[in-house]
Amino acid sequence: MKVAISRGLLEQIMSEAAADRREVCGLLLGTRERIEAVRPAANVAADPERHFELDPVVLIAAHRAARAGGARILGHYHSHPAGQAAPSRTDAACAAPDNSLWLIVGEGMARLWIARAGQDGRVQFVEALLDIM
């Protein structure tokens, strides 16, 4: 699968991640083929240097906006300040196999993943092509 994103949006996410030693996070909005907007959210996790949890106020507002005809929530982004741009064990334990997008920033790069159901019913992350426009 290939998902497009503008260079400007990707640079916004990368800059946010580079500016914070904690995990940053936010929502990816748009269509299944294109990330059209991002909505940064505070990381309200108890240990934000190692985990992320989206601010529920931002998440609920985005769901309400989508129901009212606004941009669809495709998934989210987050950073791994001391790790790779790949899903961690914690990510796998917290993810739902719902086909949502996970854009992960680590080691100065961004990679896009889809959270799908594996053969055992648990989440399996499949890498998608991030088409930078």
Residues 6+ apart with CB under 8 A from 82: none
Instruction: Please give the pLDDT value at position 5.
Output: 98
Average pLDDT, the chain: 96
| Residue type present at position 15 | S
Cα–Cα distances in Å, from 103 out to 11, 20, 95? 13, 17, 13
Comparing 60 with 32, the larger pLDDT belongs to 60
CB 88 within 8 A of CB 36: no
Q: What is the pLDDT of residues 66-98, one digit of tens each?
A: 999 999 999 999 999 999 999 999 999 999 999
Based on its alpha-carbon atoms, the radius of gyration of the chain, rounded to whole angstroms, reads 14
Instruction: Please give the pLDDT value at position 88.
Output: 95
Position 121 pLDDT exceeds 90:
no
Average pLDDT rounded to a whole number, residues 28-35: 95
Question: What is the set of domains in the chain, with CATH numbers?
Answer: 2-132 (3.40.140.10)
